[in-house]
């Protein structure tokens, strides 16, 4: 995504924007972010308002999850005493007439949400409904949530839609629900999270859930990969960090910092998978993060064959090989696979036909693999980052950078830690109801939204 915006910055539209841009540049709302390991009560001291449609299906689960998270559950708010979050159970909405309940419940509350608030709408998975009218009504919630997210973004407030099956046990619902109401999800907004009708499981610990787990992170020497490795370690996982030999010093520094194991491996080498299988050993991996990636940007007419082949090989083929090989021997029961996609794979981008092809392929791969791994209790998902602040983006001229980073509803760049927090969620045993999905960490990017 960073490369996408570098190209955008050279476009005619961006140049026109720059001419009208007057310094000093207004600062966006500073987002509330929680650092360190997850705690057992992520919503402690937060005032959360709960409302339900006439026939809400999940009120019991919602109330229990809020209570278990330490939230102060309230029924009414005033502009003098605002709420940090709103949860609305829209799961019972069955036709277009019922949509007025969304308006009636939420419209009076919007001025009562504090800055950096959280709004979560609970719906019923449209494809699970037999009535076309009910399916349409539930699907319409997506347009509502995306639009509301764009309206609320300037205040740092996020809006998510969580689709649930009609019958969903608390253990499958609670962890994602807590996450999207917490300050761990600050740069995720306007997203639809569809929970699968996963098998019932015993209640899982929210904090230190990854204790004793073994994780593999590729491309772990810098940036997003390093941030993910650090967060997995903070949650108790033992991390095997993998990167190419030219990154030996940086990789070892990260490994030493978190007490992990550094492994040098070039994913362009023919037999790279042997190195990974050796590291899996008899104990195997519980978590696999396919983060390694490269860009070789050129307009398609000027793109060389090697640039095409290498980009596909690293960004897509290597991830496929790692997943399929470890699924045969090396990924433990109830394992978690997380692959890195990109906004470029969703929206496309000039000069990145190779990169966008690979990242779009990742989305298709996780969708196709999800039902195949489900019976083993394994989940596979993808993360699509937007504009993330890195060493590279700091080198962009300030005016161009400030325009580029505002191409989302929150008007700012995300951080590598934002990506890492979502990776922790998808690696958590309480997220088993999320499978085959691609979740965007982009502040609701205005391109491909």
The pLDDT tens digits for 286-334 are: 999 999 999 999 999 999 999 999 999 999 999 999 999 999 999 999 9
> To 5 degrees, how large is the angle CA 300–CA 305–CA 310?
100
Q: CA 155 to CA 73: how far, in whole Å?
A: 22
- The partner residues of 240 in beta bridges, in order of sequence, read 216, 261
Q: What's the average model confidence in pLDDT over 406-427?
A: 96
Which pLDDT value is given to residue 16?
Answer: 55
**What is this structure's pTM?**
0.92
- Residue-wise pLDDT for 347-386, tens only, equals 998 899 999 999 999 999 999 999 999 999 999 999 999 9
392 Cβ contact partners less than 8 Å away, ≥ 6 residues apart: 2
pLDDT of 8 higher than 50: no
Indicate the domain borders of the chain. 2-28+208-441, 47-194
pLDDT of 9 higher than 50: no
Where residue 396 falls among pLDDT bands split at 50, 70, 90? low
Q: Are 282 and 259 in contact (CB under 8 A)?
A: no
- Residue-wise pLDDT for 90-105, tens only, equals 999 999 999 999 999 9
Which pLDDT value is given to residue 192?
Answer: 98
Question: Hey, which CATH number is domain 47-194, 3.40.640.10, 2.40.50.140, 3.40.630.30, 3.40.50.720?
Answer: 3.40.50.720
- Token digits for 244? 């190419």
Under CATH, which number does the domain 2-28+208-441 receive? 3.40.50.720
Task: Tell me, yes or no, if the two domains 2-28+208-441 and 47-194 fold the same way.
Answer: yes
Which pLDDT value is given to residue 448?
Answer: 58
Q: What burial class does residue 240 get, using C-beta atoms within 10 Å of its C-beta: 0-12 exposed, 13-18 middle, 19+ buried?
A: buried
Q: CA 218 to CA 330: how far, in whole Å?
A: 15
What is the set of active-site residues?
A: 355
pLDDT of 63 higher than 80: yes
Q: Are 31 and 187 in contact (CB under 8 A)?
A: yes
């Amino acid at each position: 995504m960073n490369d996408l915006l570098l190209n955008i910055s050279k476009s005619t539209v961006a140049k026109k924007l720059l001419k009208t841009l007057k310094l000093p540049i207004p600062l966006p709302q500073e987002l509330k972010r929680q650092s360190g390991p997850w705690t057992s009560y992520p919503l402690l001291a937060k005032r959360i308002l709960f409302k339900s449609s006439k026939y809400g299906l999940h009120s019991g689960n919602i109330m229990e999850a809020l209570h278990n998270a330490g939230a102060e559950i309230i029924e009414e708010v005033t502009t003098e005493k605002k709420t940090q979050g709103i949860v609305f159970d829209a799961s019972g909405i069955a036709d277009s007439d019922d949509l007025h309940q969304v308006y009636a419940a939420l419209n009076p509350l919007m001025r009562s949400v504090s800055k950096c608030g959280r709004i979560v709408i609970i719906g019923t998975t449209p494809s699970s409904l037999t009535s076309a009218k009910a399916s349409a009504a539930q699907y319409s919630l997506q347009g509502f949530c995306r639009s509301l997210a764009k309206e609320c973004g300037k205040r740092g407030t996020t809006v998510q839609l969580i689709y649930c099956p009609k019958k969903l046990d608390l253990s499958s619902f609670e962890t994602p629900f807590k996450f999207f109401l917490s300050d761990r999800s600050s740069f995720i907004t306007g997203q639809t999270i569809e929970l699968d009708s996963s098998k019932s499981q015993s209640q899982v610990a929210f904090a230190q859930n990854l204790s004793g787990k073994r994780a593999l992170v590729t491309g772990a020497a810098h940036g997003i990969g390093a941030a993910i490795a650090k967060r997995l370690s903070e949650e108790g996982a033992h991390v095997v960090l993998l990167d190419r030999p030219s990154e030996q010093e940086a990789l070892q520094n990260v490994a030493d910092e978190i007490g992990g194991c550094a492994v040098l491996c070039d994913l362009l080498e023919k037999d790279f998978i042997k190195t990974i299988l050796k590291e899996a050993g008899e104990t195997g991996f519980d978590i696999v993060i396919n983060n390694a990636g490269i860009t070789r940007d050129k307009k398609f007419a000027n793109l060389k064959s090697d640039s095409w082949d290498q980009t596909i090989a690293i960004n897509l083929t290597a991830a496929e090989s790692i997943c399929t090989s470890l699924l045969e021997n090396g990924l433990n029961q109830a394992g978690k696979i997380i692959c890195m996609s990109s906004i470029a794979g969703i929206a496309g981008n000039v000069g990145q036909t190779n990169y966008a092809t690979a990242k779009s392929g990742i989305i298709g791969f996780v969708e196709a693999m999800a039902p195949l791994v489900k019976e083993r209790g394994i989940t596979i998902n993808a993360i699509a980052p937007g504009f993330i602040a890195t060493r590279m983006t700091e080198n962009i001229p300030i005016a161009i950078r400030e325009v580029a980073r505002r191409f989302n509803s929150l008007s700012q760049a995300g951080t590598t830690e934002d990506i890492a927090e979502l990776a922790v969620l998808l690696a958590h045993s309480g997220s088993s109801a999320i499978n085959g999905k691609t979740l965007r960490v982009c502040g609701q990017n205005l391109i491909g939204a």
